Amino acid sequence: MKMRDLLDKQTRIHNDLKGIMASLEGDDLTPEQETRAAGLQAEMAKVKRLIDVQADIDEAERRMTGTPVTGDPKLEREMRSFSIIKAIQHHLGAKVDAGRELEISAELGRIEGRSTDGILMPYSVFEKRADTITTGQPSGGPGSNLVATDHLGNQFIDLLREANPLTGLGVRTLTGLVGNVDIPKLKESTSVGWFGENSEIPQTEAKFAKVQLSPKHVGAWAEWSRNMLLQSSPDIESILRSDLAQVLAMEVARATINGTGADDEPLGILNTTGIQEVTKPTAAMDYAPVLASALFLANVSAVSFLANSGFKLTVDKLLTTDGLPIGAATFFRGYPNIWTSLVPSGNLLIAGDFSDVIQGTWSAVEVLVNPYMESAYKKGNVALRIILTMDVAIRHPESFATFEVPA
């Protein structure tokens, strides 16, 4: 049983209990009403337990990462042991065992048919979330405050960063692309028809379209102290991985949601032609069901919601007729929902099947270490440049619906 069915059942039981109380004559329940109310209360308790279990299942499924549709699973597992620090230390001439990292970089170069003066790193390295550590430097220079006699690396204080909202929504990934990509798509299927004796079979032809991806480049550069990069502390590995992962993944997520398609960035969901236009309901409690229903009518079976973080306050203020908080689970009817500032408008709701989003990559993440950049060289620091070549495409624009909630 799905969450929305459980919530509907809970509502029906609640209404039945209210009906018993509304028909109450005198100060007490009749024996029949007592029996009926006890049965409903027991059923309500059972449904509430099932809702809690289903909520845990839905949350676990939401956090599961999308499965890449290309790539060698064995190589992917090996790539997740890639050490960014060891690769950079080797590039700086330090005596470290970077055999695994060099082999993976060489294999990525072979797969892509190119060489580099830097280091090729698998994108999967940056998909790992570091929840217990993260970033933020005081004003002592890039990385210099990380070197101390009593350095508590495991207590490192990160910036207050937002989690990637697309993690766990099943976005499709295509890796190892070479040229521009055209994916054939069935636009209209062949239809069938009835015909009489000695009559021709009605003929209709299938119509095809294509989904296209072309390389777009996203990158950043940063400066770290040489001592920090030469340290072998596992905490430094986690800090560096987390920082690079956050800045890169969040920009990819932003472009996937709201990329303009101009100025060399991908075209995101909100700017794709064909997104469903839904008539705004008047009641706040109908917002999510109306969006979901529009998608179900378009044969979209899996629905998740993205909403701007500021809209959470609106949902938190909604009350039942008894004056109790409705809560996000009831508001979204049990569908997976994520609050994120990457949704550009404060009252914007996005609903859709995010497995219809394709993220294609033409390269591994390329990191180039430069200890001779003038500003870094004078301080003994190291400049790092990180680049990813990728694009976004929407398989079915009608798999998404959105509207602006009235203020």
Residues 46 and 145 in one domain: no
Examine the domain organization and report whether 172 and 197 are in the same domain. Answer: yes
Are 393 and 295 in the same domain?
yes
pLDDT in tens, 215-235: 899 888 777 777 777 665 666
Same domain, 56 and 178: no
- Whether residue 126 is predicted with pLDDT greater than 70 in this model: the reply is no
Beta-carbon contacts of 44 under 8 Å, excluding residues fewer than 6 positions away, are: 10, 13, 14, 17
CA distance 59 to 335: 10
Mean pLDDT across the stretch 91-119? 79
What per-residue confidence (pLDDT) applies to 72? 60
- Its pTM surpasses 0.85: no
Residue-level pLDDT at 67: 46
The boundaries of the domain holding residue 132 are: 72-407
Q: What is the pLDDT of residue 357?
A: 92
Do 44 and 183 reside in the same domain of the chain?
no
What is the residue-averaged pLDDT of the chain?
Answer: 77
Tell me how crowded residue 256 is: count the other CB atoms within 10 A of its CB: 25
Structural domains of the chain, count: 2
Place of tokens 């990637």: 164
Q: Give the separation between CA 194 and CA 199, rounded to whole angstroms.
A: 10
List, in sequence order, every residue forming a beta bridge with 33; answer none if it has no partner: none
Are both 212 and 263 inside the same structural domain? yes
* Alpha-carbon span 405 to 239, nearest angstrom: 39
Q: Do 227 and 89 share a domain, yes or no? A: yes
Is 32 found in the same domain as 133? no
185 plus 87 within the same structural domain:
yes
pLDDT attached to residue 325: 86
Between 145 and 286, the more confident residue is: 286
Q: Which of 346, 127, 144, 351 is nearest to 242 (CA)?
A: 127
Please tell me whether residues 49 and 168 are part of one structural domain: no
More confident residue, 136 or 300: 300
Which of 225-239, 282-296, 301-315, 388-402 comes out lowest in average pLDDT?
A: 225-239
